[in-house]
Structure 1
Amino acid sequence: MHFSARILSQGALLAVIGIIAGCAGSKPIVYTAEKFDSADVYSRRFPVPGNVACEAVRRTLLSQGYVINAATHEQVDGRKSFQPENDVHVQIAFRVVCAADTADGTTSSVFVNALEDRYALKKTNNSASLGVGALGSVSLPFSSSDDSLVKVASATISAENFYARFFQLVERYLTNEATPAPESMEITHPLVPTPTVTGP
C-alpha cells in the first residue's frame, strides 16, 4: 500500500511538471487574430485615378514630416523617426499602393500599411589589452564603450483611428486638387489696341 501510494505521488508530480513545462513552452499563435472579415482598416476607395490618389498620399505624408523614399504613380513609401525616450528610437514606415478598380481608371483603391520598428540603445564595454613579449597580453584598466541601436520590436500598426486620420487627410488633399481654380486666377492675354492708320 505504501509502495503504490509512492508511485501515485510520483506520477502526480510528473504530471504537474509536464503541465508546467507545456505552459512555459507554449507560444501565442498570432494568425488566429487574422479574421479577414473587413477591408475598411487598411484600404479606402476614391473616385479618382490611381496616380491622382498616390499624389494625394505623397502630399499627406510630406505634410506630416515623413521622408519620401520612393514615389510612383502606383506606390508611395515614406518614413518618419521618433525618439520618445533618450535610449529609445522608433521609426514608422508607410507603404501605400494605389490600384485601379475600373477599366477606365476613374476609380481606385488605396491600400496602406504602416510598420513600427523600435530600437533600444545598447552599450558594450571593450577592455583594452597590451601585448608584452613573452608575457602575452596584459589587460589595462582602460575601457571603451560602444553605443549602438538594436532593433527590439517590429510590428504592423493595426489601430483603426490611426489609419482613419490618414485617409481623412488624403481625402482633404483630393478635395483641394479637385476644386477648380477661381476665374480671377485665370491667365488671360491683355487686349492690344489696334493702331489707327492716318492718311498723309
Structure 2
Amino acid sequence: MPRICTLLLAPLLAALLAGCSALPSLPEKPPKAVYQGEKFTAEETFSRLFDANVDDTCEAARRALLSQGYVISKAGGGMVQGAKRFQPEGEVHVEIAFNVVCVGEGAKQQVATAYVSALQDRYVIKKSSQAASLGVSALGSISVPLSSTQDSMVKVASETIPAGGFYDRFFTLMQRMLRESAADR
C-alpha cells in the first residue's frame, strides 16, 4: 500500500506544482514617473550669482566654454549656447550642449545670475545594407549584384546632466574668467 501511495502521490504533487507556477503573478508596482524625482531644492541649483553685469557674466560663460573646446552657436542677448562632441567608444558618440542664460539682479543690475543646463545626447552607428541586381535581357540572364552599405547615427539617449560637480567646475571657471577680464581693464 505505501508503494502505491508513493506512485500516485508523485504525479499528483508534480501536477500541483505545475499548476502553482501557472498562477498569475501579483501586479508589479508601476515604475516611478521621471518628474517624481524632481526635488526643486535650493541646494541643487543650476544657477550661480556673479558680481558682474549681464554682459560680463555671459562673456565669461562664452570664454569658459571656448577654453574647453566647445563650439559656440549663439552668444548675445543674455544667452550663450555651445556644444562639444566626444567619441568615448568606437561606435558611440556623445554630444554635450550647453545653454547659459544671464539675468540681471537688483535695481542697478550690477550683479547677474547665470542659469546653466547641459544636455547630453548619446548616439550609436546603425549599419544598413541595400542590395539590388541588374539584369540585361539582350545578353541573356546576366545579373550583376549591386550592393551598398550606409552608416547612420541614431540617437539612443538624451538627458539633462544633473546638478552637481559638473556645473560647480563650470561656475568656478566662469569666476576665473571674470577675474581675468576685470584684471585686464
Same fold by TM-score greater than 0.5 = yes
Distance in structure 1 (CA, Å) of the matches to 2:158 and 2:82: 16
Task: Indicate if the aligned counterparts of 2:91 and 2:125 stay in contact, CA closer than 8 A.
Answer: yes
1:128 deviates by 1.2
**Residues 16-48 of structure 1: per-residue CA shift (max 9 Å, x gap):** 2xx3xx44x944411121010125531000121
Is there any run of 5+ residues in structure 2 with no aligned partner, and where? 1-14
Task: Indicate if the aligned counterparts of 2:44 and 2:163 stay in contact, CA closer than 8 A.
Answer: no
Change (3 A) 1:35 1:149: same
Which amino acid is the alignment partner of residue 35 of structure 1?
K
Distance in structure 2 (CA, Å) of the matches to 1:142 and 1:131: 11
Q: Is residue 2:116 matched to residue 1:107?
A: no
Change (3 A) 1:180 1:82: closer
Q: Please, which of 21, 24, 41 is the counterpart of residue 15 of structure 1?
A: 24
Q: When you count strand as a share of all residues, which structure comes out higher?
A: 2
Identity %: 46
Structure possessing the higher radius of gyration over alpha carbons: 1
Distance in structure 1 (CA, Å) of the matches to 2:136 and 2:163: 61
Which amino acid is the alignment partner of residue 111 of structure 1?
Y
TM-score, normalised to structure 2, is 0.79
Change (3 A) 1:59 1:140: same
Which amino acid is the alignment partner of residue 158 of structure 1?
P
Task: Indicate if the aligned counterparts of 1:67 and 1:80 stay in contact, CA closer than 8 A.
Answer: yes
What residue number does 2:81 align with?
A: 77
Which amino acid is the alignment partner of residue 168 of structure 1?
T
Note the 1:150-169 alignment, pairs <5 A: 150-169=154-173
Root-mean-square deviation over aligned CA pairs: 2.7
Note the 1:96-175 alignment, pairs <5 A: 96-130=100-134, 141-175=145-179
1:109 deviates by 0.5
Task: Indicate if the aligned counterparts of 1:83 and 1:89 stay in contact, CA closer than 8 A.
Answer: yes
Change (3 A) 1:139 1:75: farther
1:157 deviates by 0.6
Distance in structure 2 (CA, Å) of the matches to 1:39 and 1:104: 27
Q: Is residue 2:86 matched to residue 1:86?
A: no
By relative contact order (CA 8 Å, sep 6+), the higher-ranking structure is 2
Count residues with an aligned counterpart.
166
TM-score, normalised to structure 1, is 0.73
**Residues 100-150 of structure 1: per-residue CA shift (max 9 Å, x gap):** 1112111110000000011100100111133567xxxx9864422111111
Which amino acid is the alignment partner of residue 72 of structure 1?
G
Which amino acid is the alignment partner of residue 126 of structure 2?
K
